[in-house]
Amino acid sequence: MDNHALNKRVTLFCGHYGSGKTNIAVNWALHLKRLGHEVAIADIDVVNPYFRTKDSQAELVAAGVEVVALPFANTSVDLPSLPAEVYGLVQRRDKKVVMDIGGDDRGAYALGRYRPYILEENDFANLFVANFYRPLTTTAEDAFEIMREIEAAAGIPFTGIVNNSNIGVETRLCDIVGTFPMAEKLSELSGLPIVMTTAEATLCKKEPQYDFFELELQKKLF
Amino acid sequence: MAEKVLMKGNEAIAEAAIRAGCRHYFGYPITPQTEVAAYMAKRMPKIGGTFLQAESEISAINMVYGVAGTGKRVMTSSSSPGISLKQEGISYIAGADLPALIVNVQRGGPGLGGIQPSQSDYFQSTKGGGHGDYRMIVLTPESVQEMADMTALAFELAEKYRMPAMLLADGTMGQMMEPVELPEESNDTVEKPWAVTGTEGKREHNIINSLYLKPEELEQKNIERYERYKLIEETEARYESFMMDDAEYCVVAFGIAARVAKNAVVAARKEGVKVGMIRPITVWPFPKAPIAEAADKVRAFISVELSMGQMIEDIRLASECKKPVYLCNRVGGMIPSPEEVYAKIMEVKGGSK
Protein backbone atom coordinates (compact mmCIF):
# COMPACT_ATOMS: atom_id res chain seq x y z
CA MET A 1 0.00 0.00 0.00
CA ASP A 2 1.11 3.49 -0.83
CA ASN A 3 0.71 5.07 2.60
CA HIS A 4 1.86 8.48 1.50
CA ALA A 5 -0.79 8.70 -1.22
CA LEU A 6 -3.42 7.35 1.16
CA ASN A 7 -2.62 9.58 4.11
CA LYS A 8 -5.14 12.31 3.37
CA ARG A 9 -7.96 13.80 5.41
CA VAL A 10 -10.67 12.89 2.93
CA THR A 11 -10.70 9.57 1.09
CA LEU A 12 -13.17 9.13 -1.76
CA PHE A 13 -13.94 5.73 -3.26
CA CYS A 14 -15.41 5.96 -6.75
CA GLY A 15 -15.70 3.37 -9.47
CA HIS A 16 -17.82 1.25 -11.75
CA TYR A 17 -21.13 -0.03 -10.45
CA GLY A 18 -20.52 -3.12 -8.31
CA SER A 19 -16.74 -2.74 -8.20
CA GLY A 20 -16.68 -3.03 -4.39
CA LYS A 21 -16.57 0.60 -3.27
CA THR A 22 -18.81 0.19 -0.23
CA ASN A 23 -16.96 -2.87 0.96
CA ILE A 24 -13.60 -1.15 0.73
CA ALA A 25 -14.91 2.08 2.26
CA VAL A 26 -16.23 0.41 5.41
CA ASN A 27 -13.04 -1.61 5.81
CA TRP A 28 -10.88 1.46 5.20
CA ALA A 29 -12.80 3.46 7.82
CA LEU A 30 -12.19 0.68 10.36
CA HIS A 31 -8.53 0.56 9.40
CA LEU A 32 -8.11 4.31 9.96
CA LYS A 33 -9.86 4.05 13.30
CA ARG A 34 -7.47 1.32 14.40
CA LEU A 35 -4.56 3.58 13.48
CA GLY A 36 -5.91 5.98 16.11
CA HIS A 37 -7.68 8.57 13.97
CA GLU A 38 -11.09 10.07 14.57
CA VAL A 39 -13.06 8.77 11.60
CA ALA A 40 -16.41 9.36 9.93
CA ILE A 41 -17.82 7.46 6.97
CA ALA A 42 -20.42 9.04 4.70
CA ASP A 43 -22.75 7.12 2.42
CA ILE A 44 -23.53 9.34 -0.56
CA ASP A 45 -24.67 6.54 -2.87
CA VAL A 46 -27.70 7.86 -4.75
CA VAL A 47 -27.77 5.00 -7.27
CA ASN A 48 -28.33 1.78 -5.40
CA PRO A 49 -30.98 1.21 -2.72
CA TYR A 50 -29.30 -2.07 -1.69
CA PHE A 51 -25.84 -2.98 -0.32
CA ARG A 52 -25.22 0.19 1.64
CA THR A 53 -22.68 1.37 4.19
CA LYS A 54 -25.49 0.96 6.65
CA ASP A 55 -25.26 -2.84 6.31
CA SER A 56 -22.10 -2.54 8.44
CA GLN A 57 -23.39 0.20 10.74
CA ALA A 58 -23.37 -1.92 13.90
CA GLU A 59 -19.71 -2.95 13.46
CA LEU A 60 -18.63 0.57 12.52
CA VAL A 61 -20.41 2.25 15.42
CA ALA A 62 -19.08 -0.37 17.85
CA ALA A 63 -15.56 0.45 16.65
CA GLY A 64 -16.17 4.17 17.21
CA VAL A 65 -16.59 5.22 13.59
CA GLU A 66 -19.19 7.92 12.99
CA VAL A 67 -21.66 6.75 10.31
CA VAL A 68 -23.36 9.42 8.26
CA ALA A 69 -26.16 7.90 6.21
CA LEU A 70 -29.73 8.73 5.39
CA PRO A 71 -32.16 7.53 8.04
CA PHE A 72 -34.04 5.66 5.32
CA ALA A 73 -31.01 4.03 3.69
CA ASN A 74 -31.73 0.27 3.68
CA THR A 75 -35.40 0.76 4.50
CA SER A 76 -36.59 0.05 0.92
CA VAL A 77 -37.37 3.74 0.47
CA ASP A 78 -35.69 4.32 -2.86
CA LEU A 79 -35.12 8.06 -2.57
CA PRO A 80 -31.90 9.43 -4.05
CA SER A 81 -31.03 12.21 -1.62
CA LEU A 82 -28.03 13.08 0.56
CA PRO A 83 -27.59 13.53 4.33
CA ALA A 84 -27.13 17.20 5.31
CA GLU A 85 -24.39 16.21 7.78
CA VAL A 86 -21.99 15.54 4.89
CA TYR A 87 -21.45 19.29 4.60
CA GLY A 88 -20.15 19.29 8.17
CA LEU A 89 -17.69 16.53 7.35
CA VAL A 90 -16.17 18.37 4.38
CA GLN A 91 -16.22 21.82 6.02
CA ARG A 92 -15.11 21.22 9.63
CA ARG A 93 -11.86 19.43 8.80
CA ASP A 94 -11.68 17.93 12.30
CA LYS A 95 -11.52 14.21 11.48
CA LYS A 96 -10.67 11.72 8.78
CA VAL A 97 -13.53 11.23 6.37
CA VAL A 98 -14.21 8.25 4.13
CA MET A 99 -16.84 8.77 1.45
CA ASP A 100 -18.67 5.93 -0.29
CA ILE A 101 -19.88 7.18 -3.65
CA GLY A 102 -22.46 5.65 -5.98
CA GLY A 103 -21.42 3.70 -9.07
CA ASP A 104 -20.35 5.10 -12.44
CA ASP A 105 -20.66 8.73 -13.53
CA ARG A 106 -24.29 8.80 -12.39
CA GLY A 107 -23.22 8.10 -8.82
CA ALA A 108 -20.30 10.54 -9.01
CA TYR A 109 -22.55 13.52 -9.87
CA ALA A 110 -23.50 13.56 -6.18
CA LEU A 111 -19.92 14.55 -5.34
CA GLY A 112 -20.29 17.76 -7.30
CA ARG A 113 -21.89 19.67 -4.46
CA TYR A 114 -18.98 18.90 -2.10
CA ARG A 115 -16.37 19.60 -4.76
CA PRO A 116 -15.61 23.25 -3.81
CA TYR A 117 -14.82 22.31 -0.19
CA ILE A 118 -12.79 19.22 -1.07
CA LEU A 119 -10.72 21.05 -3.69
CA GLU A 120 -10.22 24.12 -1.48
CA GLU A 121 -8.89 22.07 1.41
CA ASN A 122 -6.81 20.01 -1.05
CA ASP A 123 -6.15 17.15 1.34
CA PHE A 124 -7.95 14.32 -0.42
CA ALA A 125 -7.33 10.96 -2.04
CA ASN A 126 -9.81 10.26 -4.84
CA LEU A 127 -9.45 6.57 -5.53
CA PHE A 128 -10.72 4.66 -8.53
CA VAL A 129 -11.83 1.18 -7.49
CA ALA A 130 -11.35 -1.39 -10.24
CA ASN A 131 -12.45 -5.01 -10.40
CA PHE A 132 -11.22 -6.48 -13.67
CA TYR A 133 -13.66 -9.38 -13.28
CA ARG A 134 -16.62 -7.04 -13.71
CA PRO A 135 -17.97 -7.53 -17.24
CA LEU A 136 -17.79 -3.89 -18.36
CA THR A 137 -14.26 -3.36 -16.97
CA THR A 138 -12.41 -6.51 -17.98
CA THR A 139 -9.71 -4.51 -19.76
CA ALA A 140 -7.62 -1.51 -18.72
CA GLU A 141 -9.04 0.45 -21.66
CA ASP A 142 -12.65 -0.17 -20.61
CA ALA A 143 -11.83 0.72 -16.99
CA PHE A 144 -10.08 3.88 -18.17
CA GLU A 145 -13.16 4.97 -20.11
CA ILE A 146 -15.35 4.65 -17.01
CA MET A 147 -12.65 6.41 -14.97
CA ARG A 148 -12.80 9.40 -17.32
CA GLU A 149 -16.61 9.49 -17.20
CA ILE A 150 -16.56 9.51 -13.39
CA GLU A 151 -13.89 12.19 -13.23
CA ALA A 152 -15.91 14.41 -15.56
CA ALA A 153 -19.06 13.94 -13.48
CA ALA A 154 -17.38 14.50 -10.11
CA GLY A 155 -15.17 17.39 -11.17
CA ILE A 156 -12.47 16.03 -8.87
CA PRO A 157 -9.35 14.42 -10.34
CA PHE A 158 -8.45 10.88 -9.39
CA THR A 159 -5.24 10.51 -7.39
CA GLY A 160 -4.83 6.74 -7.35
CA ILE A 161 -6.10 3.28 -8.28
CA VAL A 162 -7.38 0.54 -5.99
CA ASN A 163 -7.21 -2.90 -7.53
CA ASN A 164 -10.15 -4.76 -6.01
CA SER A 165 -10.24 -7.57 -8.56
CA ASN A 166 -12.17 -10.60 -7.31
CA ILE A 167 -14.74 -13.15 -8.42
CA GLY A 168 -16.50 -13.35 -5.08
CA VAL A 169 -16.19 -16.49 -2.98
CA GLU A 170 -14.27 -18.29 -5.73
CA THR A 171 -11.34 -15.84 -5.70
CA ARG A 172 -7.92 -17.50 -5.57
CA LEU A 173 -4.54 -15.82 -5.28
CA CYS A 174 -3.83 -16.43 -8.97
CA ASP A 175 -7.05 -14.62 -9.88
CA ILE A 176 -5.79 -11.48 -8.15
CA VAL A 177 -2.22 -11.77 -9.39
CA GLY A 178 -3.56 -12.35 -12.89
CA THR A 179 -4.98 -8.81 -12.93
CA PHE A 180 -1.70 -7.10 -12.02
CA PRO A 181 -0.80 -6.46 -15.68
CA MET A 182 -4.21 -4.86 -16.28
CA ALA A 183 -3.84 -2.65 -13.20
CA GLU A 184 -0.35 -1.66 -14.43
CA LYS A 185 -1.80 -0.84 -17.83
CA LEU A 186 -4.52 1.29 -16.25
CA SER A 187 -1.86 3.04 -14.20
CA GLU A 188 0.08 3.73 -17.40
CA LEU A 189 -3.00 5.00 -19.27
CA SER A 190 -4.06 7.29 -16.44
CA GLY A 191 -0.65 8.27 -15.09
CA LEU A 192 -1.85 7.37 -11.60
CA PRO A 193 -0.26 5.06 -9.04
CA ILE A 194 -1.81 1.80 -7.83
CA VAL A 195 -2.16 2.73 -4.19
CA MET A 196 -3.83 -0.42 -2.90
CA THR A 197 -4.61 -4.00 -3.88
CA THR A 198 -7.26 -5.73 -1.83
CA ALA A 199 -8.04 -9.29 -0.84
CA GLU A 200 -10.49 -11.00 1.43
CA ALA A 201 -9.16 -11.59 4.98
CA THR A 202 -8.61 -15.37 4.89
CA LEU A 203 -6.69 -15.10 1.63
CA CYS A 204 -4.53 -12.30 3.09
CA LYS A 205 -3.62 -14.43 6.09
CA LYS A 206 -2.62 -17.30 3.79
CA GLU A 207 -0.46 -15.09 1.59
CA PRO A 208 1.33 -12.66 3.93
CA GLN A 209 4.09 -12.05 1.37
CA TYR A 210 1.64 -9.85 -0.57
CA ASP A 211 0.91 -6.38 0.71
CA PHE A 212 -2.86 -6.71 0.26
CA PHE A 213 -5.34 -4.51 2.08
CA GLU A 214 -7.39 -6.93 4.11
CA LEU A 215 -11.19 -6.92 3.68
CA GLU A 216 -12.85 -8.27 6.81
CA LEU A 217 -16.36 -6.95 6.67
CA GLN A 218 -18.22 -8.68 3.87
CA LYS A 219 -21.88 -8.62 3.02
CA LYS A 220 -23.01 -12.22 2.75
CA LEU A 221 -26.09 -13.66 1.09
CA PHE A 222 -27.16 -17.29 0.89
CA MET B 1 -12.25 -11.43 -21.46
CA ALA B 2 -11.46 -13.35 -18.29
CA GLU B 3 -12.93 -16.84 -18.08
CA LYS B 4 -15.22 -16.03 -15.17
CA VAL B 5 -16.65 -12.66 -14.31
CA LEU B 6 -18.39 -11.29 -11.24
CA MET B 7 -21.91 -10.21 -12.08
CA LYS B 8 -25.22 -9.23 -10.67
CA GLY B 9 -28.05 -11.48 -11.78
CA ASN B 10 -29.64 -8.60 -13.68
CA GLU B 11 -26.41 -7.91 -15.57
CA ALA B 12 -26.00 -11.61 -16.34
CA ILE B 13 -29.42 -11.65 -18.01
CA ALA B 14 -28.52 -8.65 -20.15
CA GLU B 15 -25.10 -9.93 -21.21
CA ALA B 16 -26.45 -13.43 -21.85
CA ALA B 17 -29.22 -11.99 -24.03
CA ILE B 18 -26.68 -10.03 -26.07
CA ARG B 19 -24.58 -13.17 -26.49
CA ALA B 20 -27.71 -15.00 -27.62
CA GLY B 21 -28.02 -12.55 -30.47
CA CYS B 22 -30.65 -10.26 -28.95
CA ARG B 23 -30.17 -6.76 -30.38
CA HIS B 24 -33.50 -5.26 -29.37
CA TYR B 25 -34.38 -4.32 -25.84
CA PHE B 26 -37.35 -2.21 -24.80
CA GLY B 27 -38.06 -1.43 -21.19
CA TYR B 28 -38.89 0.99 -18.47
CA PRO B 29 -36.93 1.25 -15.20
CA ILE B 30 -38.20 -0.32 -12.00
CA THR B 31 -36.37 -1.58 -8.92
CA PRO B 32 -35.10 -4.31 -8.51
CA GLN B 33 -34.49 -5.02 -12.22
CA THR B 34 -33.12 -1.66 -13.38
CA GLU B 35 -29.61 -3.03 -13.96
CA VAL B 36 -30.91 -5.03 -16.92
CA ALA B 37 -31.92 -1.80 -18.65
CA ALA B 38 -28.81 0.08 -17.45
CA TYR B 39 -26.53 -2.63 -18.83
CA MET B 40 -28.39 -2.69 -22.15
CA ALA B 41 -28.18 1.11 -22.34
CA LYS B 42 -24.40 0.91 -22.04
CA ARG B 43 -23.82 -2.06 -24.34
CA MET B 44 -26.41 -1.92 -27.13
CA PRO B 45 -25.16 1.30 -28.80
CA LYS B 46 -21.65 -0.19 -28.99
CA ILE B 47 -22.76 -3.32 -30.86
CA GLY B 48 -25.27 -1.83 -33.25
CA GLY B 49 -28.26 -2.87 -31.18
CA THR B 50 -31.28 -0.95 -30.01
CA PHE B 51 -31.87 0.03 -26.41
CA LEU B 52 -35.00 2.04 -25.99
CA GLN B 53 -36.44 3.33 -22.76
CA ALA B 54 -40.10 3.52 -23.65
CA GLU B 55 -42.52 5.99 -22.12
CA SER B 56 -44.24 3.17 -20.27
CA GLU B 57 -44.25 -0.59 -19.79
CA ILE B 58 -47.23 -0.81 -22.11
CA SER B 59 -45.28 0.85 -24.91
CA ALA B 60 -42.26 -1.34 -24.23
CA ILE B 61 -44.17 -4.62 -24.57
CA ASN B 62 -45.84 -3.42 -27.78
CA MET B 63 -42.44 -2.56 -29.22
CA VAL B 64 -41.42 -6.12 -28.31
CA TYR B 65 -44.52 -7.33 -30.17
CA GLY B 66 -43.43 -5.38 -33.23
CA VAL B 67 -39.87 -6.70 -33.35
CA ALA B 68 -41.05 -10.24 -32.53
CA GLY B 69 -43.12 -10.09 -35.74
CA THR B 70 -39.92 -9.69 -37.74
CA GLY B 71 -38.48 -12.87 -36.21
CA LYS B 72 -35.58 -11.10 -34.48
CA ARG B 73 -34.63 -11.96 -30.92
CA VAL B 74 -36.23 -9.35 -28.67
CA MET B 75 -36.81 -8.88 -24.98
CA THR B 76 -38.16 -6.71 -22.24
CA SER B 77 -37.70 -6.83 -18.48
CA SER B 78 -39.49 -5.41 -15.50
CA SER B 79 -40.56 -6.17 -11.96
CA SER B 80 -43.98 -7.21 -10.72
CA PRO B 81 -46.07 -4.00 -11.09
CA GLY B 82 -44.49 -3.37 -14.49
CA ILE B 83 -45.18 -6.94 -15.57
CA SER B 84 -48.85 -6.42 -14.71
CA LEU B 85 -48.88 -3.50 -17.13
CA LYS B 86 -47.39 -5.70 -19.86
CA GLN B 87 -50.08 -8.39 -19.68
CA GLU B 88 -52.19 -7.13 -22.57
CA GLY B 89 -49.16 -7.13 -24.85
CA ILE B 90 -48.09 -10.59 -23.70
CA SER B 91 -51.54 -11.92 -24.56
CA TYR B 92 -51.29 -10.33 -28.04
CA ILE B 93 -47.84 -11.88 -28.55
CA ALA B 94 -49.21 -15.29 -27.55
CA GLY B 95 -52.27 -14.72 -29.76
CA ALA B 96 -50.06 -13.92 -32.75
CA ASP B 97 -47.82 -16.95 -32.03
CA LEU B 98 -44.63 -14.93 -31.66
CA PRO B 99 -41.47 -15.71 -29.70
CA ALA B 100 -40.23 -13.11 -27.19
CA LEU B 101 -38.46 -13.04 -23.85
CA ILE B 102 -40.04 -11.33 -20.86
CA VAL B 103 -38.01 -11.08 -17.65
CA ASN B 104 -39.76 -10.61 -14.31
CA VAL B 105 -37.48 -9.82 -11.36
CA GLN B 106 -40.24 -10.12 -8.80
CA ARG B 107 -40.84 -7.84 -5.82
CA GLY B 108 -43.41 -7.86 -3.06
CA GLY B 109 -47.04 -7.13 -3.94
CA PRO B 110 -49.89 -6.71 -4.54
CA GLY B 111 -50.18 -3.13 -5.75
CA LEU B 112 -47.04 -1.05 -5.60
CA GLY B 113 -45.88 -3.44 -2.88
CA GLY B 114 -42.21 -3.01 -2.02
CA ILE B 115 -38.77 -3.40 -3.56
CA GLN B 116 -37.69 -6.56 -1.73
CA PRO B 117 -37.78 -10.06 -3.28
CA SER B 118 -40.91 -12.13 -3.73
CA GLN B 119 -42.35 -15.05 -5.70
CA SER B 120 -45.93 -13.92 -5.56
CA ASP B 121 -46.34 -13.57 -9.34
CA TYR B 122 -46.52 -17.36 -9.64
CA PHE B 123 -50.23 -17.37 -10.52
CA GLN B 124 -49.77 -14.47 -12.94
CA SER B 125 -46.90 -16.22 -14.74
CA THR B 126 -48.25 -19.77 -14.85
CA LYS B 127 -52.03 -19.34 -15.08
CA GLY B 128 -52.37 -16.65 -17.67
CA GLY B 129 -51.92 -13.13 -16.43
CA GLY B 130 -53.32 -11.70 -19.62
CA HIS B 131 -56.63 -12.65 -21.22
CA GLY B 132 -57.50 -15.63 -23.35
CA ASP B 133 -56.45 -19.26 -23.61
CA TYR B 134 -52.69 -19.09 -23.68
CA ARG B 135 -49.60 -20.35 -21.96
CA MET B 136 -46.10 -19.06 -21.50
CA ILE B 137 -42.93 -21.10 -20.85
CA VAL B 138 -41.67 -19.97 -17.43
CA LEU B 139 -38.09 -20.65 -16.30
CA THR B 140 -36.96 -20.09 -12.70
CA PRO B 141 -33.22 -19.58 -12.11
CA GLU B 142 -31.67 -20.14 -8.67
CA SER B 143 -28.24 -18.60 -9.27
CA VAL B 144 -26.58 -15.90 -11.32
CA GLN B 145 -25.15 -18.66 -13.52
CA GLU B 146 -28.65 -19.95 -14.22
CA MET B 147 -29.84 -16.40 -14.92
CA ALA B 148 -27.33 -16.36 -17.78
CA ASP B 149 -27.91 -19.93 -19.01
CA MET B 150 -31.70 -19.73 -18.90
CA THR B 151 -31.78 -16.48 -20.82
CA ALA B 152 -30.35 -18.26 -23.87
CA LEU B 153 -32.60 -21.27 -23.25
CA ALA B 154 -35.70 -19.07 -23.01
CA PHE B 155 -34.98 -17.56 -26.44
CA GLU B 156 -34.53 -21.05 -27.91
CA LEU B 157 -37.73 -22.45 -26.45
CA ALA B 158 -39.72 -19.36 -27.40
CA GLU B 159 -38.61 -19.74 -31.00
CA LYS B 160 -39.04 -23.49 -31.13
CA TYR B 161 -42.67 -23.22 -30.02
CA ARG B 162 -43.47 -19.71 -31.31
CA MET B 163 -44.64 -18.34 -28.00
CA PRO B 164 -43.54 -15.94 -25.28
CA ALA B 165 -41.14 -17.26 -22.62
CA MET B 166 -40.58 -15.75 -19.23
CA LEU B 167 -37.57 -15.74 -16.96
CA LEU B 168 -39.14 -15.60 -13.50
CA ALA B 169 -36.54 -14.39 -11.01
CA ASP B 170 -36.78 -12.31 -7.85
CA GLY B 171 -35.08 -9.29 -6.32
CA THR B 172 -32.42 -11.41 -4.59
CA MET B 173 -31.44 -13.18 -7.82
CA GLY B 174 -31.38 -9.85 -9.63
CA GLN B 175 -29.22 -8.07 -7.09
CA MET B 176 -26.84 -10.74 -5.83
CA MET B 177 -23.32 -10.93 -7.25
CA GLU B 178 -21.77 -14.27 -8.08
CA PRO B 179 -19.05 -15.66 -10.31
CA VAL B 180 -20.49 -16.57 -13.67
CA GLU B 181 -19.18 -18.25 -16.77
CA LEU B 182 -20.85 -16.45 -19.62
CA PRO B 183 -22.44 -18.58 -22.34
CA GLU B 184 -20.92 -18.81 -25.81
CA GLU B 185 -22.24 -16.58 -28.58
CA SER B 186 -25.32 -18.10 -30.19
CA ASN B 187 -28.25 -17.08 -32.31
CA ASP B 188 -31.55 -18.40 -33.53
CA THR B 189 -31.40 -21.55 -35.61
CA VAL B 190 -35.10 -21.92 -36.29
CA GLU B 191 -36.49 -21.10 -39.74
CA LYS B 192 -39.10 -18.36 -39.55
CA PRO B 193 -41.14 -18.40 -42.74
CA TRP B 194 -43.88 -16.48 -40.91
CA ALA B 195 -41.70 -13.44 -40.16
CA VAL B 196 -42.52 -10.03 -41.58
CA THR B 197 -39.28 -9.26 -43.35
CA GLY B 198 -40.33 -7.82 -46.70
CA THR B 199 -41.61 -9.97 -49.57
CA GLU B 200 -39.22 -8.57 -52.23
CA GLY B 201 -42.12 -9.38 -54.56
CA LYS B 202 -41.27 -13.06 -54.29
CA ARG B 203 -43.89 -14.37 -51.91
CA GLU B 204 -47.29 -13.66 -50.40
CA HIS B 205 -47.03 -11.17 -47.57
CA ASN B 206 -47.08 -12.43 -44.00
CA ILE B 207 -49.54 -11.00 -41.50
CA ILE B 208 -48.92 -10.69 -37.77
CA ASN B 209 -52.27 -10.60 -36.08
CA SER B 210 -54.27 -11.92 -33.15
CA LEU B 211 -57.69 -10.87 -34.44
CA TYR B 212 -59.96 -13.59 -35.83
CA LEU B 213 -63.52 -12.48 -36.45
CA LYS B 214 -64.77 -15.90 -37.53
CA PRO B 215 -65.31 -17.87 -34.33
CA GLU B 216 -64.71 -21.21 -36.09
CA GLU B 217 -61.30 -20.00 -37.15
CA LEU B 218 -60.43 -18.62 -33.69
CA GLU B 219 -61.57 -21.86 -32.09
CA GLN B 220 -59.30 -23.81 -34.44
CA LYS B 221 -56.34 -21.53 -33.61
CA ASN B 222 -56.86 -22.15 -29.90
CA ILE B 223 -57.10 -25.90 -30.40
CA GLU B 224 -53.90 -25.94 -32.44
CA ARG B 225 -52.13 -23.88 -29.82
CA TYR B 226 -53.20 -26.29 -27.09
CA GLU B 227 -51.84 -29.23 -29.08
CA ARG B 228 -48.51 -27.46 -29.01
CA TYR B 229 -48.86 -26.78 -25.27
CA LYS B 230 -49.57 -30.48 -24.71
CA LEU B 231 -46.35 -31.40 -26.48
CA ILE B 232 -44.44 -28.86 -24.36
CA GLU B 233 -45.92 -30.30 -21.17
CA GLU B 234 -44.76 -33.75 -22.26
CA THR B 235 -41.25 -32.80 -23.31
CA GLU B 236 -40.07 -29.54 -21.77
CA ALA B 237 -40.80 -29.84 -18.03
CA ARG B 238 -37.49 -29.32 -16.26
CA TYR B 239 -36.61 -29.94 -12.63
CA GLU B 240 -33.79 -30.86 -10.28
CA SER B 241 -34.19 -33.80 -7.94
CA PHE B 242 -32.13 -33.56 -4.75
CA MET B 243 -31.75 -36.46 -2.27
CA MET B 244 -35.11 -37.90 -3.33
CA ASP B 245 -34.09 -41.58 -3.68
CA ASP B 246 -35.15 -42.69 -0.21
CA ALA B 247 -37.02 -39.54 0.79
CA GLU B 248 -40.03 -39.73 3.10
CA TYR B 249 -40.64 -35.99 2.92
CA CYS B 250 -40.42 -33.90 -0.21
CA VAL B 251 -39.66 -30.20 -0.20
CA VAL B 252 -40.80 -28.41 -3.35
CA ALA B 253 -39.20 -25.04 -4.00
CA PHE B 254 -37.86 -22.96 -6.90
CA GLY B 255 -35.54 -19.99 -7.31
CA ILE B 256 -34.25 -18.34 -4.14
CA ALA B 257 -36.59 -20.47 -2.00
CA ALA B 258 -34.92 -23.63 -3.35
CA ARG B 259 -31.53 -22.23 -2.52
CA VAL B 260 -32.57 -21.60 1.07
CA ALA B 261 -34.45 -24.91 1.37
CA LYS B 262 -31.47 -26.93 0.13
CA ASN B 263 -29.49 -25.85 3.22
CA ALA B 264 -32.37 -27.03 5.42
CA VAL B 265 -32.62 -30.37 3.59
CA VAL B 266 -28.89 -30.99 4.10
CA ALA B 267 -29.15 -30.03 7.78
CA ALA B 268 -32.16 -32.33 8.32
CA ARG B 269 -30.37 -35.21 6.54
CA LYS B 270 -27.52 -34.80 9.06
CA GLU B 271 -30.11 -35.43 11.78
CA GLY B 272 -31.21 -38.63 10.01
CA VAL B 273 -34.43 -37.23 8.55
CA LYS B 274 -35.13 -38.70 5.13
CA VAL B 275 -36.02 -35.54 3.29
CA GLY B 276 -35.37 -34.56 -0.31
CA MET B 277 -36.25 -31.75 -2.64
CA ILE B 278 -37.79 -31.35 -6.08
CA ARG B 279 -36.87 -28.02 -7.58
CA PRO B 280 -39.09 -27.06 -10.51
CA ILE B 281 -36.89 -25.31 -13.09
CA THR B 282 -39.89 -24.71 -15.34
CA VAL B 283 -43.02 -23.75 -13.39
CA TRP B 284 -44.96 -23.91 -16.65
CA PRO B 285 -44.82 -26.63 -17.74
CA PHE B 286 -44.91 -27.75 -14.10
CA PRO B 287 -42.84 -30.94 -13.51
CA LYS B 288 -45.86 -33.12 -12.81
CA ALA B 289 -44.19 -36.52 -13.36
CA PRO B 290 -41.60 -36.35 -10.54
CA ILE B 291 -44.22 -34.96 -8.14
CA ALA B 292 -46.64 -37.76 -9.07
CA GLU B 293 -43.90 -40.32 -8.56
CA ALA B 294 -42.96 -38.81 -5.20
CA ALA B 295 -46.60 -38.83 -4.12
CA ASP B 296 -46.54 -42.64 -4.06
CA LYS B 297 -43.41 -42.72 -1.90
CA VAL B 298 -43.29 -39.78 0.50
CA ARG B 299 -45.45 -39.04 3.54
CA ALA B 300 -45.88 -35.36 2.85
CA PHE B 301 -44.86 -32.43 0.68
CA ILE B 302 -43.60 -29.10 1.99
CA SER B 303 -43.92 -26.18 -0.40
CA VAL B 304 -41.35 -23.49 0.38
CA GLU B 305 -42.32 -20.21 -1.24
CA LEU B 306 -42.05 -16.45 -1.09
CA SER B 307 -45.81 -16.25 -1.60
CA MET B 308 -48.95 -17.19 0.32
CA GLY B 309 -48.73 -20.69 -1.15
CA GLN B 310 -49.51 -20.15 -4.81
CA MET B 311 -47.58 -23.27 -5.93
CA ILE B 312 -49.52 -25.56 -3.59
CA GLU B 313 -52.33 -25.93 -6.13
CA ASP B 314 -49.94 -27.31 -8.74
CA ILE B 315 -48.37 -29.71 -6.24
CA ARG B 316 -51.83 -30.97 -5.21
CA LEU B 317 -52.92 -31.42 -8.83
CA ALA B 318 -49.72 -33.22 -9.80
CA SER B 319 -49.86 -35.45 -6.71
CA GLU B 320 -53.62 -35.92 -7.08
CA CYS B 321 -53.91 -34.96 -3.41
CA LYS B 322 -52.48 -38.31 -2.37
CA LYS B 323 -50.38 -36.73 0.37
CA PRO B 324 -50.76 -33.55 2.42
CA VAL B 325 -48.98 -30.44 1.22
CA TYR B 326 -47.68 -28.13 3.95
CA LEU B 327 -46.54 -24.56 3.45
CA CYS B 328 -43.38 -22.86 4.68
CA ASN B 329 -43.36 -19.27 3.52
CA ARG B 330 -42.49 -15.64 4.07
CA VAL B 331 -44.04 -12.87 2.01
CA GLY B 332 -44.01 -9.16 1.29
CA GLY B 333 -40.28 -9.07 0.64
CA MET B 334 -39.20 -11.39 3.45
CA ILE B 335 -37.22 -14.58 2.78
CA PRO B 336 -37.57 -17.72 4.91
CA SER B 337 -34.32 -18.62 6.66
CA PRO B 338 -32.79 -22.12 6.38
CA GLU B 339 -33.62 -22.48 10.10
CA GLU B 340 -37.30 -21.75 9.47
CA VAL B 341 -37.43 -24.36 6.71
CA TYR B 342 -35.58 -26.85 8.92
CA ALA B 343 -38.07 -26.24 11.73
CA LYS B 344 -40.97 -26.83 9.33
CA ILE B 345 -39.46 -30.12 8.13
CA MET B 346 -39.12 -31.23 11.76
CA GLU B 347 -42.66 -30.09 12.57
CA VAL B 348 -44.14 -32.00 9.61
CA LYS B 349 -42.10 -35.07 10.48
CA GLY B 350 -43.32 -34.96 14.07
CA GLY B 351 -46.92 -34.45 13.03
CA SER B 352 -47.17 -37.15 10.37
CA LYS B 353 -45.79 -40.07 12.43
Q: Where are the beta strands (DSSP E) in chain B?
A: 5-8, 24-27, 50-53, 74-78, 100-106, 137-139, 164-170, 177-180, 239-242, 249-252, 275-280, 282-284, 300-305, 325-329
Three-state SS for A211? coil
Identify residue A54 by its one-letter amino acid code. Answer: K
Q: What is the pLDDT of residues B64-117, one digit of tens each?
A: 999 999 999 999 999 999 999 999 999 999 999 999 999 999 999 999 999 999
In chain B, what percentage of residues exceed pLDDT 70?
99
Residue B224 distance to chain A (closest CA, Å): 43
Q: Which domains does chain A have, with CATH numbers?
A: 3-215 (3.40.50.300)
Distance between CA B194 and CA B315 in Å, rounded?
37
Q: Which of B219, B103, B222 is nearest to B158 (CA)?
A: B103
Three-state SS for B95? helix
Distance between CA B247 and CA B241 in Å, rounded?
11
* The predicted structure's pLDDT at residue B74: 98
Reported ipTM: the value is 0.88
The yes or no reply on domain B240-351 and CATH 3.40.50.920 is yes
* The predicted structure's pLDDT at residue B2: 44
* In contact, B268 and B345? CB cutoff 8 Å: yes
The list of chain A residues with pLDDT below 70 reads 217-222
Nearest CA in chain A to B258: A222
Q: What is the pLDDT of residues B40-51, one digit of tens each?
A: 999 999 999 999
Average pLDDT, chain B: 96
Give yes or no for A135 touching B (CB within 8 A). yes
CB contact under 8 A, B8 and A51: no
Q: Cβ-count burial of B73 within 10 angstroms (0-12 exposed, 13-18 middle, 19+ buried)?
A: buried
Q: What is the pLDDT of residues B182-193, one digit of tens each?
A: 999 988 889 999
Same fold, B5-199+222-235 and B240-351: yes
Which of A49, A131, A222 is closest, CB to CB, to B260?
Answer: A222
* The predicted structure's pLDDT at residue A218: 67
CB contact under 8 A, A222 and B263: yes
Domain boundaries, chain B: 5-199+222-235, 240-351
pLDDT band for B352, please (50, 70, 90 cuts). Answer: low
Residue B111 falls in which region: left (phi positive, over 0), alpha (psi -120 to 50) or beta: left
CATH topology of domain B5-199+222-235: Rossmann fold (3.40.50)
Q: Whole-prediction pTM value?
A: 0.93
Give yes or no for A174 touching B (CB within 8 A). no
In sequence order, which residues have a C-beta less than 8 Å from that of residue B309 and are 6 or more positions away? B303, B327, B329
* The predicted structure's pLDDT at residue B320: 98
pLDDT band for B1, please (50, 70, 90 cuts). Answer: very low
